[in-house]
Amino acid sequence: MPPTARKTGTARLRSQAFRRIRADHQSELAEDYVELIADLIDEKGEARGSDVALRLGVANATVVKTLKRLQDAGLVTQEPYRSIFLTGEGWRMAEGGRRKHRIVEGFLLALGVTEATARIDSEGIEHHVSEETLRAMARFLARGRTG
């Protein structure tokens, strides 16, 4: 392959990667919020904006603004001064995030990464890993458990 064609192919792949990363970043905040809301509902039976703000270390005003966007996107419902509820789509997104997190964290642990580092790193990686890579990680983990 001529060097010019190789460079063009590489540039095209990099461009595709950058586009995917930008798209991932757009959904990352929503995924983090719905996953946290699901965790709070599972732990406490409800999720409140103040609990979300405390867990994320952000101001209540930031949470209010983000919850409005999530509501507009059809991921949560909320009445003023009431608990936050996930819609069906919100629960699907939360469960998908949890699944990705479990696979990535398990993979990092299998590589010998410490538990604390695997937990922290998987929180960021989960938003950017493709389904193909997740399936490969899951296969790797399954082989390690059975053989």
Tens-digit pLDDT profile for residues 18-71: 565 655 556 888 999 999 999 999 999 999 999 999 999 999 999 999 999 999
pLDDT digits 0-9 by tens, 82-138: 899 999 999 999 999 999 999 999 999 999 999 999 999 998 898 889 999 999 999
Which residues, in sequence order, are CB contacts of 74 under 8 Å at separation 6+? 87, 89, 90
What's the pTM?
A: 0.77
Write down all domains in the chain, each with its CATH number in brackets.
13-146 (1.10.10.10)
Interatomic CA distance for residues 84 and 52, integer angstroms: 10
